[in-house]
Structure 1
Amino acid sequence: MIKEQPPPAALSWAAEVAGPGASIRTVRRLTGGTHAATHLLATTGDTAEIVLRRYPPGDMAAAKEANVLAALDGLDGWAPRLLDADPDGRRFGEPAVLISRLPGRADITPTSPHAAAAQLGRTLARLHASSLARLAGLRDGMAAATASSARAERSAPAAAILANHRHRLAEQHPVLTHYDFWSGNVLWHNGTLTGIIDWSGASLAPRGFDVSWCRLDLVLLHGPDAATAFLYAYQEAAGEAVPELALWDLFALTNSHHSVETWLPNYHDLGRTDLTAAALRKRHTAWTHQRLAAYRGR
């Protein structure tokens, strides 16, 4: 992660975008995420607040996020709007985007995890109902996942199952998929979910991709009951069940089999300092056993 404050050239760029004669009044780092350095910039211009996201040199995520946000065009208020982009890092050596600020803040320590999980489910169902008319240019999420998960699938407990049945997942109808829909990539205000952030991976993929990924995150944070509350709310809002749910859960578990401990900095940054790498592995393993049993007993 890029930890230092934004360089002067980045602030000058943001001031230009904020409006004629604008200047940057304050710079505040936003918590969550270890990939991009994210800062909230308060300005004196027409655009009072701007979010600056900077990526390591050579990283393609800025270009991907810019393309996705341009296509989403705010997603009826659920996604930030793209204000400007420097995907090649020509201004100050780091690929970056400037985006609008959504109300709220990240919160993975809700008073009622089940109520929060239900809101996550209803919001995801709304996302998945988005029209695909303007989104045909988004990447194929299943193809991208297959290309990046070869190592994990060789040794993960569900490797053989996925090798034989992955095609059943890929053949399902695609929807707008966030690709990293978890508790830390949504914002809250007064207990209400207000927006979705970090869109660089957005793809076209079956709904089970996001559903299973969020269920895994909820298990790690709050336990299987929260994952169930999320699923019930999602399916009620979507008006249909998620086909091959157990197989999708194994898909998410397999894709995270070698990396779940690396999620710890994200959780700590957002306040879950009680979690340890050993605890994440233990919960991941227990969820794997549970979902393997569900798949074999279906």
Structure 2
Amino acid sequence: MSARDDTAAVRPATLAWVSRHLETGERIVGTEALHGGLTAEMRRLTIGRPDGGTRDLVLRTFVGAEHAEDWLHREAGALTTLTETGVPAPGLVAVDPVAAQCEYPSLLMTHLAGRTVLDDEGVRLRLPVLARHLVSIHALRPVERPRNYVALTTADTVVTPGGADAAAWAAAIDVIRGPVPPWEGRFLHRDFQPGNVLFEAACPSPSGPRITGVVDWAGCSWGPADLDVAHCSTVLALLHGPAWGLRFAEAYEEAGGALAASASERLYWRVRDGLACSEEVRSVVLPWREAGRTDLTVRVVEQRLDAYVTALMNTLG
């Protein structure tokens, strides 16, 4: 997630709510809108300290979102669970999931250093680092599990891109018409992908890229590891090309992660996520272009999605 000039001040009631959760003598001295979020307004708040220094917090606000209460409850629960686990996630400061004190449902959290990296350059080095971090997330065994995953895409909601391989897409849609494969539960992020991972902003160290944070835990769920792997694979395919999407599952297993036993089960989860992305190509392209990937037009991403789904059917189908 990256910054841009703020175009609107924090709303008064929300500003007062944030102020009540600051330390004695602190005050808000600046706000900056962050781009990259699809479902919520994100702002970095600069907090002035009594000693003259500053620190940053992040305010997440859902405006008009139908499921805001559920998302914020889940994110707050996830951030609490992740405290002292070693997973670099924000710390929870406060949450108002029903807008009891804020104008809109909101969550206040600590700010993590680092930046998202969406460029093609360096993807070969970043991919195994992403895989290792996802394995560490899936290894968590919280005392209180999040709710089971929800998959909203159905065979009837898939949007086949214009000019796509009709036979491959028809076969892929038939895959998700079938029964859900058996699965072993894991702690899932549910939107683990480069846009929600922060890398060290300075020049890479000799040991390679280093992740400084994983953000956006609103979809945290309990379900098969294949779901998270499938989603990251799809996003990598759209950002960098189908070959990188196909490679991620291998990197995950090389990092010690375990996926479904059979090719047909793996195909189910990976195709399901690819088809789900068909419904939201336009919404994901906009933040990528705002972040500098102007080469990623809707048409380019649709073509990559078609090539990726077709490759999955050819390799696992």
Q: Identify whether the pair has TM-score above 0.5, normalized to the shorter chain.
A: yes
For 1:207, the equivalent position in structure 2 comes to: 225
CA distance in 2, matches of 1:92, 1:272: 34
Task: State percent identity of aligned pairs.
Answer: 27
The Cα shift of 1:119 comes to: 1.2
Matches within 5 A, 1:1-298: 4-45=8-49, 48-57=55-64, 59-60=68-69, 61-73=71-83, 75-109=85-119, 111-131=121-141, 133-136=142-145, 138-141=146-149, 144-145=150-151, 147-149=152-154, 151-152=156-157, 157=170, 158-164=172-178, 166-168=179-181, 171-189=182-200, 190=202, 191-243=209-261, 244-296=265-317
Worse overlay, 107-116 or 175-184? 107-116
Distance 1:161 1:229 in 2: 21
Deviations 1:196-253 (CA, angstroms, capped at 9, x unpaired): 1000011001000010111111111111332344333311112545533333221111
Q: 1:294 to 1:242 in 2, by over 3 A?
A: same
- Select between 148-157 and 33-42 the one with higher mean Cα deviation: 148-157
Give unmatched runs, 5+ long, in structure 1: none
Distance 2:174 2:243 in 1: 28
Q: Secondary structure at the match of 1:161?
A: helix
Match of 1:114, SS?
helix
Instruction: Provide the C-alpha distance between the structure 2 equivalents of 1:77 and 1:291, rounded to a whole number of angstroms.
Output: 31
Task: Please provide the CA RMSD for this pair.
Answer: 2.4
The residue type equivalent to 2:89 in the other structure is: A
Tell me how many residue pairs correspond in the alignment: 287
Q: CA offset at residue 43 of structure 1? A: 0.9
Measured in 2, the distance between the counterparts of 1:99 and 1:117 equals: 27
Question: Which is further off, 242-251 or 17-26?
Answer: 242-251
Q: Find the residue that maps to 1:291 and give its secondary structure.
A: helix
| Residues 272 and 282 of structure 1: CA distance in aligned 2, closer, same or farther (over 3 Å) | same
Give the TM-score taking structure 2 as reference length.
0.83
> Structure 2, unaligned stretches of length 5 or more?
1-5, 161-168, 203-208
Where has structure 1 moved over 6 Å in runs of 4 or more?
Answer: none
TM-score normalized by the length of structure 1: 0.87
Distance 1:241 1:175, change over 3 A: closer
Any idea what SS the aligned residue of 1:139 has?
Answer: coil
Tell me how far apart the structure 1 counterparts of residues 114 and 234 of structure 2 sit (CA, whole Å).
24
Moved more, 75-84 or 113-122: 75-84
Question: Would you say the 8 A contact 1:65–1:199 is kept in 2?
Answer: yes
Rounded to whole Å, the distance in 1 between the matches of 2:159 and 2:280 is 14
Give the Cα separation in 2 of the matches to 1:280 and 1:63: 33
Structure 2: distance between partners of 1:44 and 1:75: 29
Compared CA separation, residues 107 and 239, structure 1 to 2 (3 A): closer
Residue type at the aligned position of 1:135: E
Larger helix share, 1 or 2: 1
Deviates more, 1:105-114 or 1:210-219: 105-114
Distance of 2:280 and 2:121 partners within structure 1: 28
CA drift at 1:188: 0.8
Could you tell which deviates more after superposition, 119-128 or 16-25? 16-25
